[in-house]
Amino acid sequence: MFQTLVEFQRTIYLALGDQIKLLSSGGDWLGFMAFLPMGVVFGAAHALTPGHSKAVLATYLAGSEAKVARGLLVSITLSVTHVTIAVIIAALSLPLVSIALGSVGRAPLLEHVSRGLLGLIGLWMIWRALSHGHHHKHEGEAVGFMAGLIPCPLTLFAMTFAMSRGVPVAGLLFAVTMMTGVALTLSTVAVLSILFRERLVRVFESRPRLFAAISRGIEGVAGMTLAGVAVWQITAA
């Protein structure tokens, strides 16, 4: 399945390259606008590949008290940040690329910052599980923002190519449609994680003390997972 997704993305990306080349040589914008919906499909497929903080999102929401609406907001925040960071890097071009990018499509500096912040969130969840603390109102959005700090490499490629061809608006429009597709996939992950947790609530609703203990246990495990993954990825890098 992974190879199929990779080939599917490659086909759309090559088609995007052809569209941008046509625009740069005086091509029709109407044809490009007709192609844009493929960006949604491209983004949704891209978000299914490894990465994109799906595990972080699912782990956090499974251990939190967030409802579906809040979970969707967290996933959208993650998606917008993930794509926007890539657009900003491409727009700032040489100064930030020379500082933040270690290789094409990656930003090690931002990756370390993202993982470090997520590790702190994990420690906070562990402490809260042990102390029976309450969830902060905007904590979920903060998690989405931190997880999204790792830029989307394909958005960066598309923006850089469009800018090099003198049609940055084309790259920006494709980034917006791609962001929509990423948000659709991550929102599905968020909703499924919350429904799983709420299913547990219904199973144990007749035994509130047991459920409270299980909830704290899930939150503690989620916190340890976030902190552990952050430490492992930072040391491995």
The Cα 117–Cα 112 span in angstroms is 9
- Of 3 and 189, the structure prediction assigns the larger pLDDT to 189
pLDDT for residue 39 = 92
Q: Where does the pLDDT of residue 113 fall: very low under 50, low under 70, confident under 90, or very high at 90 and above?
A: low
For residue 149, what is the DSSP state?
Answer: T
Cα(112)–Cα(128) distance, integer angstroms: 24
CB 77 within 8 A of CB 53: no
How crowded is residue 116: how many other Cβ atoms within 10 Å of its Cβ? Answer: 15
pLDDT in tens, 181-214: 999 999 999 999 888 888 877 777 667 677 667 6
Tell me the per-residue pLDDT of 58-78, one tens digit each, with 9 for 90 and over: 877 877 778 899 899 999 999
Structure confidence at residue 10 (pLDDT): 85
Query: Would you state the structure tokens that stand for residue 141, as one six-digit string?
Result: 């959005």
> Is 80's pLDDT higher than 90?
yes
Q: For position 104, what pLDDT does the model report?
A: 46
Instruction: Give the span between the Cα atoms of 156 and 106, in whole angstroms.
Output: 9
Integer Cα distance of 88 and 189 in angstroms? 26
pLDDT band at 98 (very low <50, low <70, confident <90, very high): very low
How far apart are alpha carbons 4 and 2 in whole angstroms?
Answer: 5
Q: What is the pLDDT of the chain when averaged over all its residues?
A: 79
Taking residues 95-105, what's their average pLDDT? Answer: 46
Which is nearest to 9 in space by CA: 54, 50, 55, 41?
41
Q: Measure the CA–CA gap between 190 and 6, rounded to whole angstroms.
A: 23
Q: Are 82 and 182 in contact (CB under 8 A)?
A: yes
Percent of the chain with pLDDT over 90: 22
**Of 234, 226, 235, 230, whose CA–CA distance to 63 is shortest?**
226
Split at pLDDT 50, 70, 90, the class of 101 is: very low
Given this model, what pLDDT does residue 132 score?
Answer: 61
Answer yes or no: is pLDDT of 102 > 70: no
pLDDT of the residue at 59:
75
pLDDT score for 100: 43
Name the pTM for this structure: 0.75
Q: Confidence band (pLDDT; 50, 70, 90) for 91?
A: confident
Cβ within 8 Å of residue 24, ≥6 positions away = 165, 166, 167
**For residue 83, is pLDDT > 80?**
yes
Lowest mean pLDDT among 81-90, 169-178, 215-224: 215-224
pLDDT for residue 54: 77
Residue 101 burial (10 A CB sphere; 0-12, 13-18, 19+): middle
